[in-house]
Structure formats: structure tokens, C-alpha cells
Amino acid sequence: MAGPWWRQCPRLTTGCTATNILENLWHLKGRPVSSSASASLLSRASCISRPETRPPTGAQINMKAGNFLIRHQSRLLLPTLQSCCCRATHSDTKPKDPFTLAQKDLTSLYDDIKKELFVSKVELKSLCEYYFDGKGKAIRPMIVVLMARALNIHSNRAGDLLPGQRAIAMISEMIHTASLVHDDVIDGSDKRRGKRTINEVWGEKKAILAGDFILSAASMALARIGNITVVKVLSQVIEDLVRGEFMQLGSKENENERFKHYLEKTFKKTASLIANSCKAVSILVNSDPEVHEIAYQYGKNVGIAFQLVDDVLDFTSGASQLGKPAAADLKLGLATGPVLFACQQFPELHAMIMRRFASKGDVDRAWQYVLQSNGVQQTNYLAQHYCKEAIRQISRLRPSPERDALIRLTEMVLTRDK
């Protein structure tokens, strides 16, 4: 049972069996299967009946991942990931850069958002538009339009994006931004994307109202698509975002639970939006729940990988690159992947995690422990693991430039440095 994967993470296996951790890593609690969106690999296996598409059990996946990880010790080697696991499923032509490919569908993104944010009060309007200045990466809308096009081709529907799909791309960015505005108040942040935050400039009360307004505008645009299933899927995101934020308030005493808690939080705070937006665009073009599930699983896995890398960058990236101070998470009392892995090598971290790095010198000491450990490396491995699953999922769609760009995107998620 204990394959090479476990030797990579020696501390991971202490105190519990391999299968336990495995389940912790994979068994994120999902939605009921009825609408086909279970986040659990294992339960999904039982609801998809075609034997040839039946995914391997969790153990098999991890064995494979272990083999893979033995061969590739650094995330910089990842470009080979693509060719090593998808050779059989997609063409040899070099996939186009996702940003370039999505560009044509995103040119009017911010103008469209500003139209949705119409309000006569000048100051409220400028607050709401503050982060839609074209300087964000707009990575969520990009994934959504690429996914929509890949799904349209998969569903034999040629031509342009559906209006509803375009709207979902826009709504995904609006929901994301609304939650950023509230997060900045909750965390007391004064800088974001190199700018002063809304709460820093206009005060906390107006910032909260601006976030609420963006959310209401997003919700109206969502309703106007006119598809109640799509409304349900994206409303779930809003609930997940808040529940994820609540999960950040507490620390778990038990190490196993802590990791599970961390991944579940990561799903709710980051991956749910991407997963459900992908699912929503699939609902508009295809009635097959299996296709919805592919879109959802791709989004979920890429989303978790994205956040894991983000958590790594909090330790490895300079303050100037990320647009926010380094070790921001530690300062907020949050123990992310690198710390949780490091804690297995340096049990001294346990007490600090429990007191949320609140004692004097905790942040510096924790920082040192993490850098001395292989926590960063292991978090990167985990991110690779999720990306590999994302690729496996998306590869089930019919080949298209957009599908291949989504595969390429997983690699970019892992190699980004800001």
C-alpha cells in the first residue's frame, strides 16, 4: 500500500495510515450527487457507469502520482507533465497560450461589468468600479470562456459563445471581486494589486456596502440569463465563499483534521467559484450530467492547485511581486499547506498553529521552520497532483484548441511566480 508517494512525504505517514491521509486529501465533501456535482472522486466513481471511463481508485491515483513525483522533483519540470500523462489523448501541436486564445472573448469584459454596476450615486459607482480597472489577471473569466468554447465544440455547437456563457464569465469576476472587497475588510488589508484597498481609502462601512452592491449586480445579471439551474449552481458559490471564510476562523487540534479542513476551506474559498462557473457554462450548452461533471472537476482541481500555489508564493515570492506583503497568511494567523507539511517535520510548529502565530516572534520562527522543511516542495507536489487530475478530466472532452489551452493553463498555474 505504501508506495513511493509516501516515501516522498515521510512525516505524512506518521500517526495515521496511508489510506487515511489519502482520503483526507481527496475526500473533500461535495454537493449531493443528484445534480451530478460530487466533489469526491470515490463517490463519483460509483455514479459514472461506463467502465472505460471509470477513474482509478484513490489509491491507484496516488500510486501513480507517487511514481510521477519520484521522477520530477521540482515543479519547474512540470512542462513534461503534459506530455507524460496526456500523450494518448490530445494532438501533438503546441497548444496556444490560453491568454491569447481567450483574448477575443474578454476584450469588453470590464466595460460589460461597469454597465452592470450602473448606479446614479457617483461615489458608490467609483467604489464599485475600483478593482475593475483592467489591471487584474481576470483568470476566472479566462477559464470560463475557454471552457465554454471547448464544451461547445464537444457538443457539436459551432460558432460564438452563447450570451449566457459570456455573462457567466463576467459574473465569475464580479463575485470574485465582491469577495475580495469583503476579505480586505475582514483581514484589515491596506493594499491589493499594488493599490490601496477600498477600506483603506473610503473606510470599512462603505467598502462592505460596495461589495454588497457588486454582489447584487452579479445576482441580477445571473437571473437575467434566465436559467434557474445556472442560478442555483452559482448561488452555491456565494454560500461556499462565506462558509470558507468562517472555516478560517478556527484551528483544528488534530493534524489529520487540520489538513482536511485546510483543503475543504481551499475548495470553498477558491475552487468552488471556478468549478461551478465551469459547470454553469456546460449546463447552457449540453444536457449530459457527465459533461457537467467534467467541467466541474476540471474547475475544482485547477482551483485547488491555484490556491495551493498561491499559498506557496506567500513564502517564496517577494513582496513586490505579489502586490501584498510576504508571509501575509502567517501574519493573519492562517496555517496553509507549507506550514501544515512543515509541522510534520517540526512538531514545534503545532503550538504556534494552535495559537495562530499570535505570540511574539511566532511569524518569524514559523517562517524559518517552513523554509528549512520541505513544506513548500510538498505543497507544490500536491498542486501538481491536482493539476494532473484536472488534465485527466478535461482530456475526456473532444480535442480543440481551447481544450488544449486549458491543459496548458494547468501548467501555467504551477509555474507562475506572482
Which residue in the set 36, 197, 236, 395 belongs to the binding site for another protein (CB under 8 A)?
Answer: 236
215: contact with another protein by CB under 8 A: yes
Residue 139: how many other CB atoms lie within 10 Å:
21
223: contact with another protein by CB under 8 A: yes
Provide the terminal-to-terminal Cα distance of the chain, rounded to the nearest Å: 37
317: contact with another protein by CB under 8 A: no
204: contact with another protein by CB under 8 A: yes
User: What minimum distance in Å lies between the beta carbon of 152 and another protein?
Assistant: 23
Which residue in the set 38, 219, 297, 301 belongs to the binding site for another protein (CB under 8 A)?
Answer: 219
Choices 10-18, 39-47, 199-207, 348-356 (CB under 8 A): range interacting with another protein:
199-207
Which residue in the set 193, 243, 252, 365 belongs to the binding site for another protein (CB under 8 A)?
Answer: 243
Q: Which of residues 97-156 bind another protein (CB under 8 A)?
A: 119, 121, 123-124
Which residue in the set 102, 198, 238, 370 belongs to the binding site for another protein (CB under 8 A)?
Answer: 238
> Is-contact 143 406, C-beta < 8 A?
yes
* Among the listed residues 226, 224, 184, the one whose alpha carbon sits nearest the alpha carbon of residue 204: 184
332: contact with another protein by CB under 8 A: no
Length of the chain: 418
Which residue in the set 52, 92, 159, 228 belongs to the binding site for another protein (CB under 8 A)?
Answer: 228
> Is-contact 21 261, C-beta < 8 A?
no
- 39 half-sphere exposure, CB direction, 13 A CA radius: 26
Three-state SS for 93?
coil
Q: Which of residues 169-188 bind another protein (CB under 8 A)?
A: 182, 185-186, 188
Buried b (16+ CB within 10 A) or exposed e, 337-375: bbbbbbbbbbeebeebbeebbeeeebbebbbebbeebbb
224: contact with another protein by CB under 8 A: yes
> Is-contact 240 271, C-beta < 8 A?
no
Give the residues lining the site for another protein (CB under 8 A).
119, 121, 123-124, 182, 185-186, 188, 203-206, 208-209, 212-213, 215-217, 219-220, 222-228, 231-232, 235-236, 238-239, 241-243, 245-246, 249-250
